Amino acid sequence: MAGHARSGAAADRGDSAPTPARRRRAVRVWGGVALVLALVIAIPLVLMNPRTPERAAREYLDALVAGDAGVLKEHLAATPDASPVGLVDAVLQGAQRRVTGYDLEGVSISGDTATVTSTVTWSDGAKPGTLALAAHAEGAGPLRARSWVLDPVALQSVSVGVPLGADHLEISGVEVPLPEDAEQARSDAAAAVPDGAAPEAVALLSGTGVVATLQLPAGSYDLAAASRNGLVRGVPEMLRADLPGARTPSRSPVMLTM
């Protein structure tokens, strides 16, 4: 009898021990539960918090208001003929007239492209301007909402005449290097001056110098040409840059005087 009881207990223990098949089923069940939980958590995060066209536009507009040159440059279209020497925080923040606020007016979407229209306000209280920014969608998938990316923004370039005797510019009171074209022209002019000539000879080679093109966000800036030796100290001129896409008449270069 005792032996029979022990055999029954052993059988009971054997029946309760997990078999390989049971373990595999348990793994599948818990794996399925984990997958369902992951989807329940992930799908709302992906589908309910997408990168919208408005959000993409705000990144650029917020940087424009803050005078954040680093973020602005990330969104600018390549313009090989225009110099970015003025795209520094101190210049943008010190502009005589600059964008200080904006309101998003609406967004139109057609397929994978979108246009976000905004109204910008100026530091001098001038009539608000309209700025339209384009965006495109990327990365859509079964479990991914479309993510919108701002198209490169093309600033309206402005031209200035730089005297050959200048060795730097001052924009909004901030010293910046000469644009590459102006620096090259200055170097060529200095090389043409005979050895032993007075320093003034370089400064007086030309009253107009070379025309250079600058990249600047919309606004008005005090701009002057100068030299560290004091031979060139120009009177500041007002330089105006218009909003991207604005229909404005072409302007002659702003000629900086010595």
Looking at the structure, tell me whether residues 165 and 144 fall in a common domain: no
Shared domain for 68 and 112, answered yes or no, is: yes
In a domain, 174, yes or no: yes
CA dist 31 and 187 (Å) reads 71
Which residue among 150, 172, 189 closes a domain?
Answer: 150
Q: Clarify whether residues 129 and 170 are in a common domain.
A: no
Structural domain includes residue 187: yes
Same domain, 131 and 191: no
Judged against a pLDDT cut of 90, whether residue 16 lies above it is answered with no
8 Å CB contact between 117 and 107? yes
pLDDT digits (tens, 9 = 90+) for 64-87: 999 999 999 999 999 988 999 999
- Residue 98 pLDDT: 95
**Count of domains in the chain?**
2
Whichever domain contains 138, its CATH number is 3.10.450
Q: Which two tokens stand for residue 195?
A: 């050895």
Q: Among residues 112, 131, 150, which one ends one of the domains?
A: 150
Sign of CA pseudo-dihedral 52, 103, 217, 62: negative
Shortest CA distance to 164 belongs to which of 196, 211, 215?
211
Both 143 and 165 in one domain: the answer is no
Do residues 210 and 144 share a domain? no
One-character DSSP codes across 163-194: -TT--EEEETTEEEPPPHHHHHHHHHHHHHSP
Domain end, chosen from 89, 121, 150, is at 150
Do 117 and 138 belong together in one domain? yes
**H or E segment and range at residue 101:** strand 97-110
Better-scored residue on pLDDT, 257 or 179? 179
* Residue 177 shares a structural domain with residue 142: no
Could you tell me if residue 33 is inside a domain?
Answer: no
Q: Within 10 A of 61 (CB to CB), how many other CB atoms are there?
A: 21
Q: Do 165 and 238 fall into the same domain?
A: yes
Same domain, 221 and 249: yes
Whether residue 238 has pLDDT greater than 50: yes
Model confidence band, residue 216 (pLDDT cutoffs 50, 70, 90)? very high
pLDDT in tens, 85-130: 999 999 999 999 999 999 999 999 999 999 999 999 999 998 899 9
Q: Is residue 241 part of a domain?
A: yes
Region 211-238: mean pLDDT is: 86
Condensed to tens digits (0 to 9), the pLDDT of residues 172-213 reads 999 999 999 888 887 887 777 666 555 555 555 545 578 889
Residues 189 and 166 grouped into a single domain: yes
Mean of all residue pLDDT scores within the chain:
79
Q: Are strands 158-162 and 254-255 parallel, antiparallel or unpaired?
A: parallel
More confident residue, 248 or 147: 147
Let me know whether 184 and 113 are in one domain: no
Rounded (10°) CA dihedral 248, 251, 253, 258: -100
Write down the pLDDT at residue 165: 80
Q: Bridge partners of 254?
A: 160
The verdict on residue 92 lying in a domain is no
Confidence label for 150 from pLDDT (cuts 50, 70 and 90):
very high
Is 5 a member of any domain?
A: no
Tell me if 47 is assigned to some domain: no
Residue where the block lists tokens 């991914």 = 144
Across the range 46-65, mean pLDDT stands at 84
Are the beta carbons of 173 and 95 closer than 8 angstroms? Answer: no
Looking at residue 186, its pLDDT comes to 79
Q: What is the pLDDT of residue 31?
A: 53
- Of residues 231 and 56, more confidence is placed in 56
**Banded model confidence at residue 27, pLDDT cuts 50, 70, 90:** low
Q: pLDDT (tens digit, 9 = 90+) per residue, 153-167? A: 999 888 988 888 888
* Residue numbers of the domain that contains 72: 53-80+98-150
For the whole model, what pTM was predicted? Answer: 0.73
Q: 202 lies in a domain?
A: yes
